[in-house]
Amino acid sequence: MSHYKTPIDNLNFVLFDVLNAAQLAQLPGFEDATEDMLQAIIAEAAKLAENVLLPINHDGDQQGCTYDPQSKLVTTPKGFKEAYQTYKEGGWSALSAKPEAGGQGLPHLLKMVVDEMVCSSNLSFGMYPGLSHGAIDCLTEHGDDYLQSVYLPKLVAGEWTGTMCLTEPQCGTDLGLITTKAIPVADGTYEISGTKIWITGGEQDLVDNIIHLVLAKLPDAPEGSRGISLFLVPKVLPDGTRNPAFCGGLEHKMGIKGSATCVMNFENAKGWLVGEPNKGLKCMFTMMNASRIMVGIQGLGLAETAYQVSLGFAKDRLQSRSLSGPSNPQGKADPIIVHPDVRRMLLRQKVIVEGARAMAYWTGLHLDISHAHADEAQRQRSEDIVQLMTPIVKAFLTDEGYSSCDQALQSMGGAGFTQDWPVEQLMRDGRIARIYEGTNGIQALDLVGRKLPMHGGRLARTYFAELETMLSGITDSTHQNACRQFIKTLQGTLAWLMSNAKDAEQAAAGATPLLRMFALTTLAVFWAHMAQTSRQANVIGKYRPEFLTGKQKAADHFYRLFQAEMSTLAADVQAGKESLMALSEAEF
């Protein structure tokens, strides 16, 4: 059975030849992040993904997690605990954390690459350390000295894991409706009471202590989201006693069954305030923004594996003859990769996966630059790119990750629908990524309602300036003209939106297609960039000739596939809200 193999050439090509990630070693704090160092770490991560995580992925899906209502404890699938121990001992939890807390201080971009490999090989497993990284970011940014000294070193070392406790039975996106309470205690701590649902890793047997970051309301809190505070609530208190934060059961899910998704009951549990009172949403967004990019990487990782599986199947599966004459005259039939419709599905996967990887890693590169560059103006420009691209990376990569799994399954016919092949699990696992950490519709509203108006539209201006910089080096006139058309269509649509945005429903009606336009425009420029790079003298000889010519032909196919869609999306945005909002509730 064909399955996942780390796409080392594709990773290296995007990182070092397209994005020049070696430039990170010139930034303060990243001096060790040379190309040789990064490649060595990527090679070790590939071994972890292929040899440790991949072998337990299918069984983890079949077994799932189990809950004991007597002890209120959760057991993860066979092999997960041992795999987590390997992950911890390898220092993977500490990769991008700050050295002051025991981290390795390496670029966040490198962590994104490792995350892709982990998600490609075992998404359920990746959920456990993934939420811990968000907790680390949040405490690093907002925790006081006490919380940082007690909890950060253990989280960074992977000895403890973290959770993000937002959602309640009566509210999801509208967090202003939460009812979890935080009552001040004389010693400066708080008693936390309430129920949270859909809590990833809320209870599990991988570590001895789980650090919950919980949104709750103080007694005198203002109404709505302005009255939300954030609290750290450990499973085990510093004195070793058990805190009354218990799992009330597991969700019964479509996928990621090896990931424990818990109902958590806080019964006057002891907690500590993180950040300022009533400013919890700001603190939590530090965690959520990092998590949203990571969820995008989940979609990318699943799409990569689905592509590999379906490509291997298409090369081996013999059915019918090529319409242009036998390609396998010694056999009774030709491999199905000769058929145009199969190629249509495979090529769509290829241009999305490789283009989306470039877009995501570009965002990760700017994330590191925004934190570490010596020049304040450059830090601001990179922060603008990260702010704008975060909802785009999350939504587009998860939408297309699921779509790529669907294309892979379709190209495999009945075999893809069976559990003999891994694609059906990839589809089930990947469907949630379009929902959690803010549904993709919410990401589109974030783009239109928050990111585009920020700083008087500066984020969009920075984005287009970055694209122009990349296009300035493109010598292929066909690709240059295609990219110009993508940009022109997007800018024209933005101009229409700006003139109609006073009506909030008009803006919201066009948000989802507009987000997709941003993503496709970014991919268009990166495909021109990748095709241009593949012709450069310094890469010829580093990769197989077919690898490089494949980039050039794939770029041509990308424009064939998506140039017309841009016009359709623009028409969708400019159609406005009329038909969407015309029906009364009774008319549905």
The residues annotated with a catalytic role in the active site are 437
| CA distance linking residue 240 with residue 263, whole number of Å | 23
Using a 10 angstrom Cβ sphere, with 0-12 exposed, 13-18 middle and 19 or more buried, the burial of residue 512 is buried
Main-chain phi, psi angles of 540, to 5 degrees: -70, 125
| CA distance linking residue 160 with residue 156, whole number of Å | 8
DSSP annotation of 277 reads T
Buried b (16+ CB within 10 A) or exposed e, 368-399: bbbbbbeeeeebebbbbbbbbbbbbbbbbbbb
Tokens, residue 95: 């990769």
| CA distance linking residue 254 with residue 553, whole number of Å | 37
Using a 10 angstrom Cβ sphere, with 0-12 exposed, 13-18 middle and 19 or more buried, the burial of residue 106 is buried
| CA distance linking residue 155 with residue 135, whole number of Å | 8
Tokens, residue 513: 């297609």
With the CA atoms of 48, 50, 51 and 53 taken in that order, what torsion angle do they form, in degrees rounded to the nearest 10? Answer: 70
Q: Are 303 and 159 in contact (CB under 8 A)?
A: no
Positive or negative, the CA dihedral 350, 352, 357, 359 is positive
Q: Are 220 and 255 in contact (CB under 8 A)?
A: no
Tokens, residue 380: 């601001």
Q: Which of 583, 460, 441 is nearest to 513 (CA)?
A: 441
Task: Characterize the bridge pairing of strands 210-216 and 161-165.
Answer: parallel
Q: Which of 228, 78, 229, 235 is nearest to 154 (CA)?
A: 235
Q: Which of 65, 74, 114, 108 is nearest to 92 (CA)?
A: 114
